[in-house]
Amino acid sequence: MSLRNILIHPDPRLKKVCAPLEGVDSAVRKLATDMLETMHDAPGIGLAAPQVGVLQRLIVMDCAKKDEEPSPMALINPEVTWASETMNTYSEGCLSIPDQYEDVTRPAEVRVRYLDVDGQLQERAFDGLWATCVQHEIDHLDGKLFIDYLSKIKRSMITNKMKKLKRERARL
Ligand code: GNR
Ligand code: NI
């Protein structure tokens, strides 16, 4: 297990459309394990491979509440196959945009098809925080961040804050 460095917005790698994985091998399983460890350490409830600089379609999540059993998941080449018409608004954050939270409205329920770490095709329904999180993570694979749902003015304010944060971190 090893922690990976999380990229901070703005970074050109966070804007790329990621490539599908051709199969599931030990390198993919190692990446998934490292990403889960990095996500828990952050701490966060989800993480997408491009956030650690890997431009491949892999996401990890664990949206279990503190009083629930942990339920870590890794999803390879995830695709939304159905989205509810009912929408849900959540105050979203992102490990690549630290300490910034804004309301985002998305479908309340989705079905997602993906490969698990054993290379088995799976399809699962997500609701509540899980539904928000899986859509936020799949957006990362298409180079999309939650701030892309905000007004231009809010987005540029947040981007400027992140540029400042990166300058300060670089000076240390
Ligand atoms: O840790 C995270 N929390 C979160 C809260 C509301 C909606 C989405 C998220 S995902 C985020 C981790 C992250 O940046 N994943 O890409
Ligand atoms: Ni994110």
- pLDDT score of 8 more than 80: yes
Q: Using one digit for the tens of pLDDT, what is the confidence trace for 118-165? A: 999 999 999 999 999 999 999 999 999 999 999 999 999 999 999 999
Residue 137 Cα to ligand 1 middle (Å): 8
Residue 71 in contact with residue 162, Cβ under 8 Å? Answer: no
Q: CA-CA distance, 39 to 97, in Å (whole number)?
A: 14
In whole numbers, what is the pLDDT of the chain averaged over residues?
Answer: 97
Output the six-digit token pair for 27.
């390198």
Q: Using one digit for the tens of pLDDT, what is the confidence trace for 21-49? A: 999 999 999 999 999 999 999 999 999 99
Confidence at residue 1, expressed as pLDDT on a 0 to 100 scale = 78
Residue type, 169: R
Catalytic residue at 137? yes
DSSP state of 117: T
Q: Which atom of ligand 1 approaches the CA of 104 most closely?
A: 7
Please give all residues whose beta carbon lies within 6 A of any atom in ligand 1, as ranges: 44-48, 51, 90, 92-96, 132-133, 136-137, 140
Residue 34 in contact with residue 70, Cβ under 8 Å? Answer: no
For the chain, helix (H) and strand (E) counts, in that order, are 3, 7
Q: Using one digit for the tens of pLDDT, what is the confidence trace for 95-113? A: 999 999 999 999 999 999 9
12-171: CATH topology is Peptide Deformylase (3.90.45)
- pLDDT score of 172 more than 90: no
